[in-house]
Structure 1
């Protein structure tokens, strides 16, 4: 339990002002769109005294930089940046003493090794929290195929209410449940109004959309909930129901803040245990791209607003949130020379194409060129003819809906495969053929090659800058997670943050745990 004690000590001494000022000072490291590396001349922001050191780093040096490996002769400012970033990062090593639950072969069917790792450890943590909160019912929000709920039911006999918005997952979970669990203790709910949603950072699914968060108690008297003009919790909800624990494994975007609001307002929900992901999918305000649900705590909000008042051009926006949701240094530290070469070409070649788009007289739609699309979102609630307990639990559904559109799918379309990055010639040929076929216009290959020759030497800055981003990644994710914990604490609810997964296997490993 030493890791937990260390993390609790870090949280108790967490300095919001220091973290925010640090991120403001070094926003040039993260506050840009990757494909605009050349267009925005990002490398020019790197201090000159850092450049010689960063460009001389070997592959091993690059991999170790986010861990704090540095040399005495390096510039004092660079060493100070590294030390501060490490100091402001939350510990990510899984707590000791958590015994993963065994998963029998029948229940393992369909689970990837990553999912087995997550479910076996999350189940153990959830059981511990349920005992502390004296809960009889588990509300699994965004339950997917039901892996987590089925394991909890099988090992501990909890009544599980799995809430999932994707019909295919609900059907799959029901098929699995017939073979693995006691059906009278497992309820699976899927409202017909919901469309496809993001599910635990599955990169294979191209899901675009926005999220609305319900910030008032549910009205169970109608089929559709319409938010009023004041998104505030105006009254507590008192329900005569069994004590319930609300859980979520990889809660996308605004889902964690939504669960926090319901946890705070519903008396029968006595505990919360969730692991967040996809921070960049939080709904943002039109005009400045800052999220509605950050910051949440009064402590962070006061400092953040003051800094933004002094420097209106700075914010924790989409680019910062995206970096917070990226892989951690644990995977970066295992990169090979081939991995670094591919990443350099991937960023560099796409950046040249973006530069071409802005310097060419003709305007063409290519990857990343589409502007953001506003998609209407409504608040939904579903009635049920099952027992009152299940009916009320449905009011705590994911409460967000992603809407696909052809424009979104087109914006996210890849115009080159991994094999096309073997050389710039191969990339241009592949990109040109696909864009010309789809857009019906020609591409000036000579101009593309001219831009490449002018800028290819700047590609050497890509990996050193990425190493600096890996130093800021845990600072950003720690800020978001700590802000959420502080918000609950400000409302008088005991809250802690515990790393529960191996970050190499599952980078989003910080569990937000709260008990009333």
Structure 2
């Protein structure tokens, strides 16, 4: 274990060193591309090399596919470093079965085999099926037949673990409506099972328990009204948001009742100081990760790179539209910086002018207005000077005149939309390193307490981008 701890620390150190070198790139907001001249912040050799690049080639290098484009050595070195230090995102042990094959194994009763997949979308089917197999395997090795699922939602995972895999299960969900719906789906399952199966099947069903609880600290978990057959249990979490994942790890360490944990995290942007860092080692380092870097670490890199490789990137023009609009708004009135404009998807018939008109509807802006004189501009600026940014929805604050000339200038900048895509792709190439540090912090936290722990990718990253599970067990 000492060797594993040292390896983890070394990887964290090296990853943070790279991140610190490229903080300037990770911390860029796409919508500020034209405001802050992001393109000219790239190294000169990168600008010259990538200015006219076919975006398909960017998709190739992002997904480690062969490419005939000769990239700058410094960029190739960065990509290779991220690959060497980052946690693997593909798992050769991932079950090669589609959802219909998985459904065939859900029950010996053919009439109810599809019940586990009813009301479940494709992405969730994949996650629930794979996670259920992982959890059941760890439960058997831990000699534990009970699990608690945090952020259980509609109860799809606990339902499969209970009715198919015969584990005692409890789901904890903060939204009351989801908890009530989960109970209804349990009853629906049992009703259908009684219709199509033998009489001896239904008495042996382990109906899940559903709790409607909001958790703020791990000590709350000590007071759950669990039945006696769930005195010892495993903790599981399928994409618990923000601090909830670290909270579960803390409870696993502190409670003698918890025998194992399987948790797949997500929503790193919602992390607070309580959720990162949690390992003693990282707390002593300057390992802070900005909100923007944690946000990019939540993106779907495989799906994005695949779209580039297939030439499906025309819809990315909307990022350039938003960035050009941002420059117009900020130059017109700094109080409009990062204003909450309407979110729009790109279509072939969506011109920049039309985009602007639709995007600012939420801000009550008249778009565009005729050019105004300097005296009018001065008077208008004076009228908004005393209003705080929190009042951006007020009509009298936001009804500033934006001229057709300014819209035309923005349209010229939109022609650089490929540069916007290039910079965004470079940021995305660094994202796995940020996620690696976040996950290794959690791994190291468990190792520091003398318990074995591992991280492995279990989901298809194209379906479920946050695909790493942390698995830890206490000695039997």
Equivalent residue, structure 2, for 1:350: 322
- The 5 Å alignment of 1:277-316 reads 277-283=266-272, 291-304=273-286, 315-316=288-289
Which of 308, 324, 339 is 2:297 aligned to? 324
Q: Do the aligned partners of 2:455 and 2:471 also contact (CA within 8 Å) in 1?
A: yes
Give unpaired runs (5+ residues) of structure 1: 1-7, 195-211, 224-238, 284-290, 306-314, 370-410
Runs of 4+ in 1 over 6 A off after TM superposition: 8-11
Relative to its length, the structure with more helix (as a share) is: 2
Equivalent residue, structure 2, for 1:232: none
Equivalent residue, structure 1, for 2:19: 23
Q: CA deviation at 1:338?
A: 6.2
Question: Closer, same or farther in 2 for the Cα pair 1:56/1:496, shift >3 Å?
Answer: same
Q: Do the aligned partners of 1:329 and 1:471 also contact (CA within 8 Å) in 2?
A: no
Greater shift in the superposed pair: 466-475 or 142-151: 466-475
Aligned mates of 1:245, 1:219 — CA distance in 2: 13
Equivalent residue, structure 2, for 1:488: 446
Q: CA deviation at 1:63?
A: 0.9
Equivalent residue, structure 2, for 1:464: 422
- The 5 Å alignment of 1:2-401 reads 15-68=11-64, 69=66, 73-96=70-93, 98=95, 101-102=102-103, 103=106, 104-180=113-189, 185-191=207-213, 194=214, 213-214=216-217, 220=223, 242-283=231-272, 291-304=273-286, 315-335=288-308, 339-343=312-316, 345-361=317-333, 363-364=335-336, 368-369=338-339
Residues 201-243 of structure 1, C-alpha deviation per residue, up to 9 Å, x if partnerless?
Answer: xxxxxxxxxxx8526576759x9xxxxxxxxxxxxxxx99632
Question: Closer, same or farther in 2 for the Cα pair 1:48/1:416, shift >3 Å?
Answer: same
Q: Match of 2:450, SS? A: coil
Q: Do the aligned partners of 2:218 and 2:247 also contact (CA within 8 Å) in 1?
A: yes
Give unpaired runs (5+ residues) of structure 2: 107-112, 191-201, 366-392
Question: Closer, same or farther in 2 for the Cα pair 1:336/1:248, shift >3 Å?
Answer: same
Q: CA deviation at 1:268?
A: 0.4
Q: Do the aligned partners of 1:90 and 1:478 also contact (CA within 8 Å) in 2?
A: yes
Q: CA deviation at 1:451?
A: 3.9
Aligned mates of 1:42, 1:97 — CA distance in 2: 39
Query: Computing the radius of gyration over CA atoms, which structure comes out larger, 1 or 2?
Result: 2
Question: Closer, same or farther in 2 for the Cα pair 1:71/1:15, shift >3 Å?
Answer: farther
Q: Do the aligned partners of 1:420 and 1:426 also contact (CA within 8 Å) in 2?
A: no
Which of 382, 404, 407 is 1:446 aligned to? 404
Aligned mates of 1:37, 1:97 — CA distance in 2: 39
Aligned mates of 1:14, 1:316 — CA distance in 2: 18
Q: CA deviation at 1:435?
A: 2.9
Equivalent residue, structure 2, for 1:426: 354
Q: What TM-score comes out, normalization by structure 2 length? A: 0.79
| RMSD of aligned residue pairs (Cα, Å) | 3.0
Aligned mates of 1:153, 1:14 — CA distance in 2: 41
Q: What TM-score comes out, normalization by structure 1 length? A: 0.73
Q: CA deviation at 1:172?
A: 1.3
Aligned mates of 1:97, 1:338 — CA distance in 2: 28
Aligned mates of 2:472, 2:265 — CA distance in 1: 14
Q: Do the aligned partners of 1:353 and 1:448 also contact (CA within 8 Å) in 2?
A: no
